[in-house]
Structure 1
Amino acid sequence: MIKTVTIVDGGYFKKVVVTEHKLAHRRYTDFLYDNIRSCEDDDEDLMRILYYDCLRYEGEQQLPISGDSKRFYGNPAEFDGLASYDLMAIRLGELRFRGFILKQEDSTFSRTLGDSDFLPSFEQKGVDMRIGLDIAHYSEKRLVDRIILISNDTDCIPAMKEARKNGVQIVVVEFEGQSLHRDLVKHSDYVRWREIIEPNLD
């Protein structure tokens, strides 16, 4: 059996697999977990799943037109359900507020803009760094033989190169309807295609 760790960029993963279904919390976490586990092959012995994401932003900001205050509410327990699954470890970065952006940037408005014409913009910080550090750690210590990477972020490439130098194989996962960045494919050993498992709504 091939000793394996699965590394998941949660922000990317949720954009890829989450559909229009309105799922209760438990069904939602089941859905995420089932799609992560589907990325393994039968000859792989999974050591751990490392899931990287950010808690929802919490804080107060001034709206762009009215100047009124808007409160954003976080949820400290947001990933507790997912963390309870077998072999799952959650790695959290930070979500930072970057301002408000127009919903339709190229539109010509024939009316006065209001607060509702803008969306809040957020940026993840620390997720890429944590992914790179963990890829380096698992490969330098030879804790695993293979890393399954669920991401489309080219910032992972330096760590992927280092892992391969250390003799660890890199598998990148391409889900249906998605295209991986060609540089990620170039610096991996295998590309693994997976269909999205639809949630159980029974």
Structure 2
Amino acid sequence: MIRSVVMIDGGHLRVLARKNKRIYDPVFIEKLAHACADPTQEALLRILYYDCAPYVGQARLPVSGAMVQFTGSGDWLRDLARRDLFAVREGVLKFRGFKPKRVPISPAALSDDDFRPDFEQKGVDMRIGLDIATYSDERLTDRIILITGDTDCIPAMKHGRKSGIQMVLISLPGQRLAPELFEHADFKRTIAWPV
């Protein structure tokens, strides 16, 4: 059996799942992760999930100046981390201000409802890259199965392949992956959404 590790870019997967009207929760993530591995040839060693807990903090609304409180819970990440074979690698979600919902904007009648909060994940790509390098350098696996759409992962994918690790890139329904990602994967595997 081929020793395999699944690595999931949670921010990327969440956007795809919501576009395809899927309920994004630990049950869904677990089903999808297990569907990525081929049980006839791959022994699944671990599932690494990379994401950020929701942002918690206050900010001033862009028009009225009123304070808004952002709340959320990372309990679902802890639930996921307790599941068999899962390890959760958390980055940090940063608040970057407000962006207009529609462009161009008309300054005549702006309200707070014309803007949405802008958040940015920090540290997730780096953690994926470090784990690919660690698993490759220490020969902890034979194959890395990757769910991402981020071309920032390409240097790590190259490193893994140079170390002799096979890279499998997962393609999901409704997803358009950057062509350069395919150039640095050994296999492309298309899977369906779990039911």
Please indicate the TM-score interval, normalised by the length of the shorter structure: over 0.9
Distance in 1 (alpha carbons) for counterparts of 2:165 and 2:51:
24
Q: CA-to-partner distance for each residue in 1:8-50, whole Å, 9 max, x for gaps?
A: 00000111224435x5xxx832122111211111210011000
Counterpart check, 1:137 vs 2:128: no
Distance in 1 (alpha carbons) for counterparts of 2:191 and 2:179:
17
More helix by share: 2
2:21 aligns with: 20
Letter in 1 for 2:134: H
1:177 aligns with: 174
Distance in 1 (alpha carbons) for counterparts of 2:132 and 2:101:
37
Letter in 2 for 1:177: G
2:76 aligns with: 78
Superposition TM-score, scaled by structure 1 size: 0.91
- Aligned pairs for 1:14-93 (under 5 A) are 14-18=14-18, 19-20=20-21, 23=23, 28-42=25-39, 43-93=41-91
Q: Which runs of 4+ in 1 moved over 2 A?
A: 17-21
Shift of 1:105: 1.6
Tell me, yes or no, if the aligned pair for 2:55 and 2:93 is still in contact at 8 Å.
yes
Shift of 1:54: 0.3
2:192 aligns with: 195
Letter in 1 for 2:83: Y
Question: What is the RMSD of the two structures over their aligned residues, measured on CA atoms?
Answer: 1.5
Superposition TM-score, scaled by structure 2 size: 0.94
In percent, how many aligned pairs have the same letter?
47
Unaligned ranges ≥5, structure 1 = none
Counterpart check, 1:186 vs 2:183: yes
Counterpart of 1:126 (choices 123, 126, 139) is 123
